[in-house]
Chains A and B, each alone.
Chain A
Amino acid sequence: MNVYLLCFILFLVGLYGVLTRRNVIKIIIGLSFMEFSIFLFLILIGYIEGGAAPILSKTVVTTRFVDPLPQAMVLTAIVIAMAANAMLLAIAVRLYKRYGTFDIRKINELKG
Chain B
Amino acid sequence: METIISVILIFMILGAIYALHARDLLSALISCGLVGYGLVICFLLLRAPDVAIVQIVIETITLIIMVSVVLASTRHEIEADAGQTGKTSIYKIWGSMAMVMIIMLVMFFTFRLAIIHLDPFGDHTLRMSRAYLEGAAERTGSANLVTGVLFDFRGYDTFGEATILFTAVIGVLTVLRLRGKK
Contacts and interface: CB of A to CB of B under 8 A. Distances in A.
Contacts of A13: 13, 16-17, 20
By secondary structure, the A interface counts as helix
A86 interface: yes
A111 interface: no
Contacts of A30: 20
Interface string B32-69: 10011001001100111111001100100110011001
Interface residues of B, number: 81
A36 B164 CA distance: 19
By secondary structure, the B interface counts as helix
Interface in B128-147: 128-129, 132-133, 136-137, 143-146
Contacts of B70: 25
Contacts of B12: 10, 36
Size class of the A contact interface (CB-based, 8 Å): 35 or more
Nearest to B160: A76
Given A48-B123, A71-B51, A72-B150, A55 B16 contact: no
